[in-house]
Amino acid sequence: MVDYRKILFGWCLINVLFIWSYTSRARSTAMAESFMKYKDKNQAVEVRVQDLLSRMTLQEKIGQMTQIDRSVASFEVMKNYSIGSTLSGGESVPFRGATARDWINIINEFQEGALASRLGIPMFYGIDAIHGNAIVYNATVFPHNIGLGAARDAELIRKIGAATALEVRATGISYAFAPCIAVCRDPRWGRCYESYSEDPQIVQEMTDIIYGLQGENPIKGIPYVGGRDKVIACAKHYVGDGGTTNGIDESNTVIDAAGLFKIHMPAYLDAINKGVSTIMVSFSSLNGKKMHANRDLITGYLKNTLQFKGIVISDWEGLDRMTTPNNANFTNSVLAGIRAGLDMVMLPYNYTEFMDILTNLVKNDYVPMERIDDAVRRILRVKFIMGLFENPMADFSLINELGSQAHRNLAREAVRKSLVLLKNGKEGDSPLLPLPKRTSKILVAGTHAHNLGYQCGGWTISWQGFLDNNENRGTTILNAVRSAVHPSTEVVYKEEPDKEFVNSNNFTYAIIVAGEPSYAEWHGDSQTLTMTEPGPAIISNVCKSIKCVVVVISGRPIVIEPYMDSIDALVAAWLPGTEGQGVTDMLFGDYEFTGKLPRTWFRTVDQLPMNVGDLHYDPLFPFGYGLTTNNIRLSVTKSEIQYE
């Protein structure tokens, strides 16, 4: 006879065991999900990276590889596409005159969107802070790199890096596309002022700015960002961008392997050793091959041989520019760039097209998932290292660092150390510099004497710079002269004086400030390197009548030999930035000239390219040249010493 009670008991027991097993598994799963290692700051960085990577979908991974411009970013875009990074291009500011507080509010809105995504991965925000956070209104604008190469002061460059980091963080930004460690071999290149020198050794020494920007990691060779007052740095542009034929921007560098590794590569070894977190790939080609598609040098050498652990990022629309015309075959460009080893792509607008194309390339096995995981692993590594998961939101605690007096004092020091004295007195005459502060009447002339935009150069407020005194706060050289001289000295300013004006006034001496207009990238390419008109006419009208010092404001050596005989004193001031008092500190003898030419000053453009060590080396002023005023200042009159 069947015992139904036993059957019922057995059935109930089975159900109880099933329910217990199910709830136990569910409870275990819930506990596992609640303990996400990537959210635990006590876990090792690589453990956190792997945990987060294992949870990500392909769409989320590709989102992390995407960098978009501020103008197309929003809370919804950041959330829905898991965007890894946002940036401001040279023209992309919230609005003219935006304050640090304005920047922070906008960036935090984007960050809130990123944090609202499924996994809550924070984004980082980038800007071209190549000579201070100069795109931002009220920022301290330091001399461009060519001037810092003339200063050759590693401790100074560290301090500038630290000050720049503070001013970048003051606006809520955590990523600076700096330093440029190109070795400019031809001044006809429109980016030559972004290069510290034609000498690879000087460029190597200047990579100490990375310590200022990021902090110094006790463990060499590992990406590092040492706190909320530091930023992600970016060594650029990898590699050979300063050696293009005829100095044409974004064109082809023709060089053998020995030359490449002797001239253009050494600074990258230093940058990696100093913990740089990102490296930007160059628009240019190397021996006919686009660098954005150069797998041998990106993956083979940079990642595998040098063991670089940070992020390799493209330049602005770098994938588009791999073809002529631009964007002729974007799918092929995405394939070539990602397979070459790009980790993050600065699109900066067509992000949905990029994400769709890369998704299809992965799903159809054109790009292996291992390549995607390598890219995302590097991006997440930097984010964890910099503490972005613990402190994703910008605050207002550093807003007073933007344009602070301490930073302006540092910039003024940098100007003093960057100036190079090329001539001081005609043959047979006594030196003109230092100038007396106390005299009857002096003339200040030239297109660049009272123009802060020219003084700062490109990458200031906007991509190509600005053209007046209203877009940023600073001191023009004219105003610096007015504040430097004795109160009894009359300062007469005439931008373009004619001979009659000069001869009809009893000037003791004249200060002429002339040079180049502002420019950036290919807009600055020049095969003539001439001084902006009417600079030459001003020199002729003034210097043939009275004692004159000519201050050249330029991003590189320019044609000056035709005017040398008429000039009494000549100073290369490069692109000094906002602190014009640094120029007058030197002209009036408050400090001694110590700057040395970071690159060769040619006689004629027909000699170019010409660099120190070349077989036929016949410059107007050789590399390393620079006069001093060590003994001259002793002759300053007693009354001036008392005034000072």
Q: In one letter, which amino acid is 592?
A: E
Give the closest residue to 144 by CA, choosing from 531, 454, 513, 574.
574
Cα dist from 359 to 341, 355, 608, whole Å: 16, 6, 47
Q: How far apart are the C-alpha atoms of 184 and 196, rounded to whole Å?
A: 8
Instruction: Please identify which of the residues 249, 413, 521, 579 carries the catalytic annotation.
Output: 521
By three-state DSSP, how is residue 477 classified?
A: helix
Report the distance separating Cα 143 and Cα 555, nearest Å. 10
Pair of tokens at residue 344: 């993050």
Q: Residue 305 CB: number of other CB atoms within 10 A?
A: 10
Segment (H or E) for 510:
strand 509-515
Angle at 226 between CA 221 and CA 228, to 5 degrees: 150
Residue 23 CB coordination number (10 Å): 10
**CB under 8 Å to 422, separation ≥6 — which residues?**
570, 571, 572, 601, 621, 625, 626, 627
Integer Cα distance of 87 and 73 in angstroms: 9
Residue in the structure block whose two tokens are 């992600």: 232
The DSSP symbol for 302 reads: I
Q: Which residues contact 477 (CB under 8 A, 6 or more apart)?
A: 444, 448, 449, 450, 455, 511, 513, 551, 580, 583, 584
Residue 521 bears catalytic tag: yes
Backbone angles phi, psi at 19, to 5 degrees: -65, -40
Give catalytic status of residue 296 as yes or no.
no
Largest interatomic CA distance in the chain: 136
- 584 Cβ contact partners less than 8 Å away, ≥ 6 residues apart: 477, 480, 481, 483, 484
User: Hey, is 355 helix, strand or coil?
Assistant: helix
* 336 and 289 Cβ atoms separated by less than 8 Å: no
Between CA 63 and CA 74, with CA 68 as vertex, the angle to 5 degrees is 90
DSSP element (H, E) containing 279:
strand 278-281
Please answer whether residues 517 and 430 qualify as being in contact, where contact means their C-beta atoms are separated by less than 8 angstroms: no
Alpha helices per DSSP H over 188-347: 200-206, 209-214, 257-259, 266-273, 295, 330-340
| Tokens 């770098």, residue located | 318
Identify whether the C-beta of residue 242 lies closer than 8 Å to the C-beta of residue 195. Answer: yes
Task: Select which of 69, 167, 186, 315 is catalytic.
Answer: 315
Burial class (CB in 10 A: 0-12, 13-18, 19+), 15: exposed
By annotation, the residues acting in catalysis are 315, 521
